[in-house]
Structure 1
Amino acid sequence: MGNALRYELLGPLRARRGDVEIGLGGVKQQTVLAMLLLEPNRPVAVDRIVRTVWGMQPPPSVTHVVQTYVSRLRSLLDLGRALVSTDAGYLLRVDPDQLDITFFDRHLAAAAQHGERGERVAAAGEVAAALALWRGEPLAGLSGESIEAARH
Protein backbone atom coordinates (compact mmCIF):
# COMPACT_ATOMS: atom_id res chain seq x y z
CA MET A 1 0.00 0.00 0.00
CA GLY A 2 3.05 2.23 -0.11
CA ASN A 3 2.45 5.59 1.52
CA ALA A 4 -1.30 5.16 2.01
CA LEU A 5 -2.80 5.86 5.41
CA ARG A 6 -3.63 2.67 7.31
CA TYR A 7 -5.54 2.20 10.55
CA GLU A 8 -4.97 -0.58 13.07
CA LEU A 9 -7.80 -1.40 15.47
CA LEU A 10 -6.76 -4.93 16.44
CA GLY A 11 -4.76 -3.74 19.44
CA PRO A 12 -4.13 -0.18 20.59
CA LEU A 13 -5.44 2.25 17.96
CA ARG A 14 -2.72 3.23 15.51
CA ALA A 15 -2.50 5.12 12.25
CA ARG A 16 0.41 4.68 9.88
CA ARG A 17 1.51 6.29 6.67
CA GLY A 18 3.93 3.84 5.13
CA ASP A 19 6.17 2.70 7.98
CA VAL A 20 5.65 5.88 10.01
CA GLU A 21 3.25 5.79 12.96
CA ILE A 22 1.25 8.99 13.38
CA GLY A 23 0.56 10.34 16.86
CA LEU A 24 -3.18 10.48 17.46
CA GLY A 25 -3.35 12.73 20.50
CA GLY A 26 -5.06 11.95 23.77
CA VAL A 27 -7.45 9.18 24.69
CA LYS A 28 -10.63 11.19 24.07
CA GLN A 29 -9.46 12.28 20.63
CA GLN A 30 -8.47 8.69 19.84
CA THR A 31 -11.91 7.52 20.94
CA VAL A 32 -13.51 9.91 18.46
CA LEU A 33 -11.32 8.49 15.68
CA ALA A 34 -12.08 4.92 16.74
CA MET A 35 -15.80 5.60 16.57
CA LEU A 36 -15.47 6.99 13.05
CA LEU A 37 -13.37 3.99 11.98
CA LEU A 38 -15.88 1.54 13.43
CA GLU A 39 -18.53 3.12 11.17
CA PRO A 40 -16.50 3.76 8.02
CA ASN A 41 -18.21 5.78 5.32
CA ARG A 42 -21.27 6.33 7.53
CA PRO A 43 -22.09 9.37 9.65
CA VAL A 44 -21.67 9.00 13.40
CA ALA A 45 -24.06 11.21 15.37
CA VAL A 46 -22.45 13.81 17.62
CA ASP A 47 -24.61 12.75 20.58
CA ARG A 48 -23.34 9.17 20.17
CA ILE A 49 -19.74 10.43 20.16
CA VAL A 50 -20.47 12.50 23.27
CA ARG A 51 -22.06 9.53 25.12
CA THR A 52 -19.12 7.30 24.30
CA VAL A 53 -16.37 9.79 25.11
CA TRP A 54 -17.88 11.47 28.19
CA GLY A 55 -20.72 9.22 29.32
CA MET A 56 -23.52 11.02 31.11
CA GLN A 57 -21.37 13.98 32.25
CA PRO A 58 -20.13 15.87 29.19
CA PRO A 59 -18.47 19.26 29.63
CA PRO A 60 -20.62 22.35 28.97
CA SER A 61 -18.85 23.13 25.68
CA VAL A 62 -18.92 19.53 24.45
CA THR A 63 -19.96 20.32 20.86
CA HIS A 64 -17.00 22.67 20.51
CA VAL A 65 -14.65 20.07 22.03
CA VAL A 66 -15.83 17.43 19.53
CA GLN A 67 -15.30 19.93 16.70
CA THR A 68 -11.78 20.59 18.00
CA TYR A 69 -10.95 16.86 18.12
CA VAL A 70 -12.25 16.38 14.59
CA SER A 71 -10.27 19.37 13.36
CA ARG A 72 -7.09 18.05 14.99
CA LEU A 73 -7.60 14.59 13.51
CA ARG A 74 -8.19 16.10 10.08
CA SER A 75 -4.90 17.97 10.42
CA LEU A 76 -2.83 15.18 12.03
CA LEU A 77 -3.87 12.60 9.47
CA ASP A 78 -4.09 15.02 6.53
CA LEU A 79 -7.67 13.92 5.92
CA GLY A 80 -8.94 17.02 4.13
CA ARG A 81 -12.30 16.14 2.62
CA ALA A 82 -12.20 12.55 3.90
CA LEU A 83 -13.45 13.67 7.33
CA VAL A 84 -16.57 15.76 6.97
CA SER A 85 -19.47 17.10 8.97
CA THR A 86 -22.93 16.13 7.74
CA ASP A 87 -26.44 16.80 9.03
CA ALA A 88 -26.33 13.32 10.59
CA GLY A 89 -22.91 13.72 12.27
CA TYR A 90 -19.27 13.21 11.32
CA LEU A 91 -18.32 10.91 8.47
CA LEU A 92 -14.87 9.50 7.72
CA ARG A 93 -14.39 8.26 4.18
CA VAL A 94 -12.21 5.19 4.41
CA ASP A 95 -11.17 2.64 1.80
CA PRO A 96 -11.71 -0.81 3.37
CA ASP A 97 -8.09 -1.65 2.50
CA GLN A 98 -6.99 0.99 5.02
CA LEU A 99 -8.35 -1.07 7.94
CA ASP A 100 -6.64 -4.06 9.54
CA ILE A 101 -10.06 -5.49 10.39
CA THR A 102 -10.79 -5.77 6.64
CA PHE A 103 -7.74 -7.98 6.15
CA PHE A 104 -8.66 -10.01 9.24
CA ASP A 105 -12.13 -10.69 7.82
CA ARG A 106 -10.70 -11.54 4.38
CA HIS A 107 -8.28 -14.07 5.86
CA LEU A 108 -11.07 -15.72 7.84
CA ALA A 109 -13.31 -15.87 4.76
CA ALA A 110 -10.48 -17.43 2.77
CA ALA A 111 -9.88 -19.93 5.59
CA ALA A 112 -13.54 -20.91 5.50
CA GLN A 113 -13.40 -21.42 1.72
CA HIS A 114 -10.29 -23.56 2.01
CA GLY A 115 -11.92 -25.51 4.81
CA GLU A 116 -15.01 -26.21 2.69
CA ARG A 117 -12.75 -27.64 -0.01
CA GLY A 118 -10.89 -29.78 2.52
CA GLU A 119 -7.70 -27.74 2.14
CA ARG A 120 -6.75 -27.79 5.80
CA VAL A 121 -3.17 -26.57 5.44
CA ALA A 122 -4.25 -23.57 3.39
CA ALA A 123 -7.12 -22.90 5.83
CA ALA A 124 -4.72 -23.01 8.76
CA GLY A 125 -2.38 -20.61 6.96
CA GLU A 126 -5.21 -18.11 6.48
CA VAL A 127 -6.25 -18.38 10.14
CA ALA A 128 -2.62 -17.82 11.17
CA ALA A 129 -2.41 -14.76 8.89
CA ALA A 130 -5.61 -13.38 10.45
CA LEU A 131 -4.35 -13.93 13.98
CA ALA A 132 -1.01 -12.31 13.14
CA LEU A 133 -2.85 -9.01 12.65
CA TRP A 134 -3.86 -8.94 16.32
CA ARG A 135 -1.56 -6.87 18.54
CA GLY A 136 -3.54 -7.28 21.74
CA GLU A 137 -6.99 -6.29 22.92
CA PRO A 138 -8.81 -4.38 20.17
CA LEU A 139 -8.77 -0.63 20.81
CA ALA A 140 -6.83 -1.22 24.01
CA GLY A 141 -6.79 1.79 26.30
CA LEU A 142 -10.04 3.21 24.92
CA SER A 143 -13.42 2.89 26.60
CA GLY A 144 -17.00 3.97 26.28
CA GLU A 145 -20.30 2.49 25.23
CA SER A 146 -19.61 2.09 21.48
CA ILE A 147 -16.00 1.02 21.97
CA GLU A 148 -16.94 -1.72 24.44
CA ALA A 149 -19.68 -2.99 22.12
CA ALA A 150 -17.27 -3.16 19.18
CA ARG A 151 -14.60 -4.83 21.26
CA HIS A 152 -16.94 -7.67 22.19
Structure 2
Amino acid sequence: MTDDGLWFGLLGPVEIRIARTPVPIHSARARSLLAALLCRPNTLLSADELIDLVWGEQAPSGAAITLRSHVMRLRRLLDRAADRVEHAAAGYRIHVDRSTELDWAIFEELCRSGRAAARRGEWPTVTQNVSEALALWRGTPLSDVDSERLRRDERPAMAEARVAAVELLARAGLAQGHGDEAISALRSAAVENPHREHTHALLMSALVANGRRAEALEVYQRLRGVLVGDLGIEPGAELRELQQEILRVETGPKPAAGRTKAKTPGPARPRPQSLPRDTTDFTGRDAELSELLAVLRTEPTDGAARAVVIDGMGGVGKSALALHAAHLAAAAYGDGQLFADLRGTSPHPVEPSTI
Protein backbone atom coordinates (compact mmCIF):
# COMPACT_ATOMS: atom_id res chain seq x y z
CA MET A 1 0.00 0.00 0.00
CA THR A 2 1.48 3.33 -1.12
CA ASP A 3 1.41 6.78 0.46
CA ASP A 4 -2.11 7.55 -0.77
CA GLY A 5 -3.27 4.29 0.85
CA LEU A 6 -4.58 2.59 -2.29
CA TRP A 7 -5.02 -1.15 -2.56
CA PHE A 8 -6.70 -3.09 -5.37
CA GLY A 9 -7.82 -6.71 -5.17
CA LEU A 10 -8.65 -9.28 -7.86
CA LEU A 11 -8.00 -12.50 -5.89
CA GLY A 12 -11.57 -12.76 -4.65
CA PRO A 13 -14.32 -10.16 -5.04
CA VAL A 14 -13.01 -7.05 -6.81
CA GLU A 15 -11.79 -4.71 -4.11
CA ILE A 16 -10.71 -1.12 -3.55
CA ARG A 17 -9.26 -0.06 -0.22
CA ILE A 18 -8.22 3.45 0.69
CA ALA A 19 -6.21 3.81 3.88
CA ARG A 20 -7.16 0.17 4.66
CA THR A 21 -10.88 0.99 4.47
CA PRO A 22 -12.91 -0.96 1.88
CA VAL A 23 -14.71 1.18 -0.69
CA PRO A 24 -18.06 -0.35 -1.76
CA ILE A 25 -18.50 -0.76 -5.53
CA HIS A 26 -22.28 -0.93 -5.94
CA SER A 27 -22.39 -0.71 -9.74
CA ALA A 28 -21.82 -4.05 -11.46
CA ARG A 29 -20.60 -2.31 -14.64
CA ALA A 30 -18.14 -0.15 -12.71
CA ARG A 31 -16.88 -3.33 -11.03
CA SER A 32 -16.33 -5.00 -14.41
CA LEU A 33 -14.64 -1.88 -15.74
CA LEU A 34 -12.26 -1.75 -12.77
CA ALA A 35 -11.50 -5.48 -13.12
CA ALA A 36 -10.77 -5.07 -16.84
CA LEU A 37 -8.36 -2.22 -16.17
CA LEU A 38 -6.67 -4.04 -13.27
CA CYS A 39 -6.13 -7.20 -15.28
CA ARG A 40 -3.89 -5.10 -17.54
CA PRO A 41 -2.51 -2.48 -15.16
CA ASN A 42 -0.65 0.50 -16.60
CA THR A 43 -1.77 -0.55 -20.10
CA LEU A 44 -3.89 1.59 -22.39
CA LEU A 45 -7.10 -0.24 -23.37
CA SER A 46 -9.18 1.07 -26.22
CA ALA A 47 -12.78 2.09 -25.62
CA ASP A 48 -13.93 -0.70 -27.96
CA GLU A 49 -12.01 -3.34 -26.01
CA LEU A 50 -13.35 -2.09 -22.70
CA ILE A 51 -16.89 -2.11 -24.07
CA ASP A 52 -16.39 -5.73 -25.14
CA LEU A 53 -14.96 -6.65 -21.73
CA VAL A 54 -17.70 -4.91 -19.76
CA TRP A 55 -20.78 -5.75 -21.85
CA GLY A 56 -19.76 -8.44 -24.34
CA GLU A 57 -22.37 -9.04 -27.02
CA GLN A 58 -24.97 -7.15 -24.99
CA ALA A 59 -23.35 -3.75 -25.38
CA PRO A 60 -26.04 -1.02 -25.54
CA SER A 61 -26.30 1.53 -28.30
CA GLY A 62 -24.22 4.52 -27.34
CA ALA A 63 -21.98 2.27 -25.22
CA ALA A 64 -19.05 4.68 -25.59
CA ILE A 65 -21.00 7.41 -23.78
CA THR A 66 -22.15 4.95 -21.11
CA LEU A 67 -18.54 3.80 -20.69
CA ARG A 68 -17.47 7.37 -19.96
CA SER A 69 -20.12 7.63 -17.25
CA HIS A 70 -18.79 4.48 -15.59
CA VAL A 71 -15.26 5.88 -15.76
CA MET A 72 -16.48 9.01 -13.97
CA ARG A 73 -18.19 6.82 -11.35
CA LEU A 74 -14.97 4.86 -10.82
CA ARG A 75 -12.98 8.08 -10.41
CA ARG A 76 -15.40 9.28 -7.75
CA LEU A 77 -14.85 6.02 -5.86
CA LEU A 78 -11.10 6.66 -5.92
CA ASP A 79 -11.64 10.10 -4.40
CA ARG A 80 -8.33 11.97 -4.21
CA ALA A 81 -6.68 9.29 -6.35
CA ALA A 82 -9.14 9.85 -9.20
CA ASP A 83 -6.32 10.70 -11.60
CA ARG A 84 -5.14 7.09 -11.38
CA VAL A 85 -7.72 6.38 -14.11
CA GLU A 86 -6.31 8.16 -17.14
CA HIS A 87 -8.16 9.00 -20.34
CA ALA A 88 -6.08 9.12 -23.50
CA ALA A 89 -7.12 9.59 -27.12
CA ALA A 90 -7.29 5.86 -27.72
CA GLY A 91 -8.87 4.72 -24.47
CA TYR A 92 -8.23 4.36 -20.74
CA ARG A 93 -5.63 2.98 -18.35
CA ILE A 94 -5.29 2.63 -14.60
CA HIS A 95 -1.97 3.51 -12.98
CA VAL A 96 -0.98 0.99 -10.31
CA ASP A 97 2.21 0.28 -8.40
CA ARG A 98 2.43 -3.45 -9.16
CA SER A 99 4.78 -4.08 -6.26
CA THR A 100 2.56 -2.66 -3.51
CA GLU A 101 -0.98 -1.96 -4.70
CA LEU A 102 -2.39 -4.93 -6.65
CA ASP A 103 -2.75 -8.34 -5.01
CA TRP A 104 -2.47 -10.35 -8.26
CA ALA A 105 0.77 -8.60 -9.31
CA ILE A 106 2.23 -9.02 -5.81
CA PHE A 107 1.25 -12.69 -5.83
CA GLU A 108 3.02 -13.24 -9.15
CA GLU A 109 6.22 -11.53 -7.95
CA LEU A 110 6.32 -13.49 -4.69
CA CYS A 111 5.90 -16.75 -6.62
CA ARG A 112 8.67 -15.78 -9.03
CA SER A 113 10.94 -15.13 -6.06
CA GLY A 114 9.89 -18.46 -4.56
CA ARG A 115 10.73 -20.36 -7.75
CA ALA A 116 14.12 -18.65 -7.94
CA ALA A 117 14.81 -19.60 -4.32
CA ALA A 118 13.80 -23.21 -5.08
CA ARG A 119 16.33 -23.36 -7.90
CA ARG A 120 18.98 -22.32 -5.36
CA GLY A 121 17.73 -24.85 -2.81
CA GLU A 122 16.79 -22.08 -0.33
CA TRP A 123 13.67 -23.80 0.96
CA PRO A 124 12.94 -21.56 4.00
CA THR A 125 12.85 -18.59 1.62
CA VAL A 126 10.51 -20.53 -0.66
CA THR A 127 8.19 -21.18 2.28
CA GLN A 128 8.16 -17.53 3.34
CA ASN A 129 7.55 -16.08 -0.13
CA VAL A 130 4.94 -18.57 -1.28
CA SER A 131 3.08 -18.50 2.04
CA GLU A 132 2.83 -14.71 1.75
CA ALA A 133 1.59 -15.08 -1.82
CA LEU A 134 -1.14 -17.57 -0.94
CA ALA A 135 -2.27 -15.42 2.00
CA LEU A 136 -3.36 -12.77 -0.54
CA TRP A 137 -6.20 -14.98 -1.80
CA ARG A 138 -9.65 -14.10 -0.47
CA GLY A 139 -11.69 -16.54 -2.54
CA THR A 140 -12.43 -17.17 -6.22
CA PRO A 141 -10.84 -14.47 -8.41
CA LEU A 142 -13.29 -12.02 -10.00
CA SER A 143 -16.11 -13.75 -8.16
CA ASP A 144 -18.44 -10.72 -8.32
CA VAL A 145 -17.68 -9.70 -11.92
CA ASP A 146 -20.45 -10.08 -14.49
CA SER A 147 -18.13 -10.09 -17.50
CA GLU A 148 -18.10 -13.58 -18.99
CA ARG A 149 -15.02 -12.77 -21.08
CA LEU A 150 -13.02 -11.63 -18.07
CA ARG A 151 -13.92 -14.76 -16.15
CA ARG A 152 -13.09 -16.94 -19.14
CA ASP A 153 -9.82 -15.25 -20.08
CA GLU A 154 -8.35 -14.27 -16.71
CA ARG A 155 -9.58 -16.67 -14.04
CA PRO A 156 -7.98 -19.91 -15.38
CA ALA A 157 -4.48 -18.41 -15.32
CA MET A 158 -5.00 -17.22 -11.77
CA ALA A 159 -6.30 -20.61 -10.63
CA GLU A 160 -3.37 -22.36 -12.33
CA ALA A 161 -0.90 -20.02 -10.63
CA ARG A 162 -2.46 -20.73 -7.24
CA VAL A 163 -2.28 -24.52 -7.48
CA ALA A 164 1.31 -24.26 -8.76
CA ALA A 165 2.11 -22.18 -5.67
CA VAL A 166 0.52 -24.80 -3.41
CA GLU A 167 2.63 -27.48 -5.09
CA LEU A 168 5.81 -25.43 -4.67
CA LEU A 169 5.02 -24.78 -1.01
CA ALA A 170 4.49 -28.52 -0.50
CA ARG A 171 7.85 -29.27 -2.12
CA ALA A 172 9.48 -26.79 0.24
CA GLY A 173 7.77 -28.45 3.20
CA LEU A 174 8.98 -31.89 2.15
CA ALA A 175 12.52 -30.59 1.69
CA GLN A 176 12.45 -29.26 5.26
CA GLY A 177 10.96 -32.38 6.81
CA HIS A 178 7.39 -31.10 7.17
CA GLY A 179 5.84 -34.09 5.45
CA ASP A 180 2.46 -34.10 7.20
CA GLU A 181 1.79 -30.44 6.38
CA ALA A 182 2.80 -30.96 2.76
CA ILE A 183 0.58 -34.02 2.41
CA SER A 184 -2.38 -32.17 3.90
CA ALA A 185 -1.95 -29.25 1.49
CA LEU A 186 -1.57 -31.54 -1.49
CA ARG A 187 -4.66 -33.55 -0.52
CA SER A 188 -6.71 -30.35 -0.47
CA ALA A 189 -5.25 -29.27 -3.82
CA ALA A 190 -6.04 -32.69 -5.31
CA VAL A 191 -9.67 -32.42 -4.17
CA GLU A 192 -9.95 -28.93 -5.67
CA ASN A 193 -8.28 -30.10 -8.92
CA PRO A 194 -9.51 -33.68 -9.42
CA HIS A 195 -8.07 -33.96 -12.95
CA ARG A 196 -4.67 -32.36 -12.30
CA GLU A 197 -2.21 -35.20 -12.60
CA HIS A 198 0.89 -33.33 -11.42
CA THR A 199 -0.73 -32.50 -8.07
CA HIS A 200 -1.59 -36.15 -7.56
CA ALA A 201 1.93 -37.20 -8.55
CA LEU A 202 3.40 -34.86 -5.94
CA LEU A 203 0.96 -36.20 -3.34
CA MET A 204 1.96 -39.77 -4.16
CA SER A 205 5.65 -38.89 -3.91
CA ALA A 206 5.10 -37.14 -0.59
CA LEU A 207 3.27 -40.16 0.81
CA VAL A 208 6.03 -42.52 -0.34
CA ALA A 209 8.67 -40.26 1.19
CA ASN A 210 6.79 -40.58 4.49
CA GLY A 211 6.59 -44.38 4.29
CA ARG A 212 2.93 -44.48 3.22
CA ARG A 213 3.16 -46.50 0.00
CA ALA A 214 -0.29 -48.05 0.29
CA GLU A 215 -1.92 -44.62 0.54
CA ALA A 216 0.06 -43.43 -2.48
CA LEU A 217 -1.28 -46.33 -4.54
CA GLU A 218 -4.81 -45.54 -3.36
CA VAL A 219 -4.36 -41.97 -4.64
CA TYR A 220 -3.41 -43.38 -8.05
CA GLN A 221 -6.40 -45.70 -8.20
CA ARG A 222 -8.83 -42.93 -7.22
CA LEU A 223 -7.39 -40.56 -9.81
CA ARG A 224 -7.50 -43.23 -12.50
CA GLY A 225 -11.16 -43.83 -11.72
CA VAL A 226 -11.92 -40.12 -12.02
CA LEU A 227 -9.98 -39.69 -15.27
CA VAL A 228 -11.54 -42.74 -16.90
CA GLY A 229 -15.02 -41.93 -15.62
CA ASP A 230 -15.02 -38.19 -16.38
CA LEU A 231 -12.74 -37.86 -19.39
CA GLY A 232 -12.36 -41.38 -20.79
CA ILE A 233 -8.55 -41.26 -20.53
CA GLU A 234 -5.90 -43.15 -18.61
CA PRO A 235 -3.35 -41.39 -16.38
CA GLY A 236 -0.36 -39.94 -18.23
CA ALA A 237 3.19 -41.22 -18.34
CA GLU A 238 4.36 -39.38 -15.21
CA LEU A 239 1.75 -41.05 -13.01
CA ARG A 240 1.99 -44.48 -14.59
CA GLU A 241 5.75 -44.50 -14.14
CA LEU A 242 5.41 -43.33 -10.56
CA GLN A 243 2.92 -46.09 -9.81
CA GLN A 244 5.28 -48.69 -11.27
CA GLU A 245 8.14 -47.20 -9.27
CA ILE A 246 6.15 -47.65 -6.08
CA LEU A 247 5.14 -51.19 -6.99
CA ARG A 248 8.67 -52.18 -7.92
CA VAL A 249 10.00 -53.61 -4.67
CA GLU A 250 13.03 -55.86 -4.67
CA THR A 251 12.07 -59.12 -3.00
CA GLY A 252 13.70 -62.50 -3.11
CA PRO A 253 11.92 -65.60 -4.49
CA LYS A 254 9.39 -67.11 -2.13
CA PRO A 255 10.16 -70.66 -0.91
CA ALA A 256 8.02 -73.50 -2.22
CA ALA A 257 5.15 -74.64 -0.04
CA GLY A 258 6.21 -77.04 2.71
CA ARG A 259 9.90 -76.38 2.26
CA THR A 260 11.55 -75.14 5.43
CA LYS A 261 15.23 -75.53 4.68
CA ALA A 262 16.69 -72.40 3.22
CA LYS A 263 19.46 -72.54 0.66
CA THR A 264 22.76 -71.04 1.63
CA PRO A 265 23.05 -67.88 -0.41
CA GLY A 266 26.08 -67.44 -2.58
CA PRO A 267 28.29 -64.39 -2.45
CA ALA A 268 26.41 -61.21 -3.22
CA ARG A 269 27.16 -59.78 -6.62
CA PRO A 270 28.55 -56.23 -6.35
CA ARG A 271 26.13 -53.56 -7.50
CA PRO A 272 27.97 -50.40 -8.51
CA GLN A 273 26.21 -47.17 -7.73
CA SER A 274 28.52 -44.44 -8.96
CA LEU A 275 26.02 -41.73 -9.80
CA PRO A 276 26.98 -38.33 -8.36
CA ARG A 277 24.58 -36.87 -5.82
CA ASP A 278 21.31 -35.68 -7.36
CA THR A 279 20.57 -31.95 -7.46
CA THR A 280 18.18 -30.78 -4.71
CA ASP A 281 16.60 -27.92 -6.67
CA PHE A 282 15.79 -29.41 -10.07
CA THR A 283 12.85 -27.57 -11.64
CA GLY A 284 11.33 -27.33 -15.10
CA ARG A 285 12.10 -29.59 -18.07
CA ASP A 286 8.97 -31.61 -17.26
CA ALA A 287 8.34 -32.71 -20.85
CA GLU A 288 11.97 -33.71 -21.47
CA LEU A 289 12.14 -35.52 -18.11
CA SER A 290 8.98 -37.51 -18.84
CA GLU A 291 10.31 -38.49 -22.26
CA LEU A 292 13.64 -39.58 -20.79
CA LEU A 293 12.02 -41.67 -18.05
CA ALA A 294 9.64 -43.31 -20.50
CA VAL A 295 12.63 -44.53 -22.52
CA LEU A 296 14.84 -45.48 -19.57
CA ARG A 297 12.14 -47.45 -17.78
CA THR A 298 10.93 -49.42 -20.81
CA GLU A 299 12.50 -52.82 -21.31
CA PRO A 300 13.78 -53.22 -24.91
CA THR A 301 11.80 -55.96 -26.70
CA ASP A 302 14.78 -57.06 -28.77
CA GLY A 303 17.14 -57.41 -25.82
CA ALA A 304 19.47 -54.77 -27.22
CA ALA A 305 21.17 -52.10 -25.14
CA ARG A 306 19.60 -48.67 -25.19
CA ALA A 307 21.26 -45.27 -25.24
CA VAL A 308 19.70 -41.84 -24.86
CA VAL A 309 21.42 -38.72 -26.15
CA ILE A 310 20.67 -35.25 -24.74
CA ASP A 311 21.69 -32.44 -27.05
CA GLY A 312 21.80 -28.68 -26.53
CA MET A 313 24.04 -25.67 -26.25
CA GLY A 314 26.42 -25.31 -23.33
CA GLY A 315 25.04 -24.21 -19.98
CA VAL A 316 21.36 -25.04 -20.57
CA GLY A 317 21.30 -27.84 -17.98
CA LYS A 318 21.90 -31.03 -19.97
CA SER A 319 24.00 -32.64 -17.24
CA ALA A 320 21.54 -31.72 -14.48
CA LEU A 321 18.66 -33.19 -16.50
CA ALA A 322 20.59 -36.41 -17.23
CA LEU A 323 21.65 -36.86 -13.62
CA HIS A 324 18.17 -36.20 -12.24
CA ALA A 325 16.61 -38.64 -14.71
CA ALA A 326 19.24 -41.25 -13.83
CA HIS A 327 18.40 -41.05 -10.13
CA LEU A 328 14.66 -41.29 -10.81
CA ALA A 329 15.16 -44.33 -13.06
CA ALA A 330 17.75 -46.05 -10.86
CA ALA A 331 15.26 -48.53 -9.41
CA ALA A 332 14.74 -49.99 -12.89
CA TYR A 333 18.48 -50.87 -13.01
CA GLY A 334 18.84 -53.13 -10.02
CA ASP A 335 22.22 -54.49 -11.14
CA GLY A 336 23.76 -51.08 -10.62
CA GLN A 337 24.36 -47.71 -12.19
CA LEU A 338 27.65 -46.45 -13.61
CA PHE A 339 28.79 -42.89 -14.17
CA ALA A 340 31.61 -41.83 -16.49
CA ASP A 341 32.88 -38.25 -16.46
CA LEU A 342 34.07 -37.51 -19.99
CA ARG A 343 35.25 -34.05 -18.93
CA GLY A 344 33.49 -32.50 -21.89
CA THR A 345 34.08 -28.93 -20.69
CA SER A 346 37.81 -29.40 -20.14
CA PRO A 347 40.49 -28.66 -22.77
CA HIS A 348 41.11 -32.43 -23.15
CA PRO A 349 37.81 -34.35 -23.10
CA VAL A 350 37.90 -38.14 -22.86
CA GLU A 351 36.94 -40.30 -25.82
CA PRO A 352 33.97 -42.52 -24.88
CA SER A 353 35.69 -45.54 -26.49
CA THR A 354 38.46 -45.39 -23.86
CA ILE A 355 36.07 -45.82 -20.89
- TM-score normalised to structure 1 length: 0.91
| Alignment partners' CA distance in 1, 2:44 and 2:59 | 21
Q: Does 1:103 align with 2:93?
A: no
Q: Does 1:144 align with 2:148?
A: yes
CA contact (8 A) 1:50 1:58 kept: yes
What does residue 265 of structure 2 align with? none
Q: Say which one has the larger Rg.
A: 2
What are the Cα deviations for residues 45-83 of structure 1, in whole angstroms up to 9, with x where unaligned?
A: 111121122221211231121111000111111233221
Q: Does 1:86 align with 2:96?
A: no
Structure 1, unmatched stretches of 5+, are none
User: SS at the partner of 1:101?
Assistant: helix
CA contact (8 A) 1:35 1:147 kept: no
Of residues 99, 110, 132, the one that matches 1:129 is 132
CA contact (8 A) 2:12 2:138 kept: yes
Structure 2, unmatched stretches of 5+, are 157-355
What is the CA distance between 1:3 and its match in structure 2?
4.7
What is the CA distance between 1:37 and its match in structure 2?
1.0
CA contact (8 A) 2:36 2:54 kept: no
What does residue 21 of structure 1 align with? 22
| Alignment partners' CA distance in 1, 2:127 and 2:82 | 41
Higher strand proportion: 1
Q: 1:32–1:140: structure 2 CA closer, same or farther, 3 Å change rule?
A: same
User: SS at the partner of 2:45?
Assistant: coil
What does residue 43 of structure 1 align with? 44
Q: 1:26–1:80: structure 2 CA closer, same or farther, 3 Å change rule?
A: closer
User: SS at the partner of 1:112?
Assistant: helix
Q: 1:147–1:46: structure 2 CA closer, same or farther, 3 Å change rule?
A: farther
| Alignment partners' CA distance in 2, 1:65 and 1:107 | 38
| Alignment partners' CA distance in 2, 1:133 and 1:15 | 14
Between 131-140 and 141-150, the greater mean CA deviation after superposition: 141-150
What does residue 10 of structure 2 align with? 9
Aligned-partner residue type, residue 30 of structure 1: R
How large is the RMSD of aligned CA atoms in angstroms? Answer: 1.6
Higher RCO, 1 or 2 (CA under 8 Å, sep at least 6)?
1
What are the Cα deviations for residues 89-119 of structure 1, in whole angstroms up to 9, with x where unaligned?
A: 1111222121111221121122112211212
Between 48-57 and 6-15, the greater mean CA deviation after superposition: 48-57
User: SS at the partner of 1:77?
Assistant: helix
What are the Cα deviations for residues 12-66 of structure 1, in whole angstroms up to 9, with x where unaligned?
A: 1001012200112222110001111111111111111211222212112311211
The 4+ residue runs of structure 1 with deviation greater than 6 A are: none
| Alignment partners' CA distance in 2, 1:49 and 1:40 | 13
Aligned-partner residue type, residue 58 of structure 2: Q
Q: 1:81–1:18: structure 2 CA closer, same or farther, 3 Å change rule?
A: closer
Aligned-partner residue type, residue 35 of structure 1: A
| Alignment partners' CA distance in 2, 1:27 and 1:151 | 18
| Alignment partners' CA distance in 2, 1:20 and 1:3 | 12
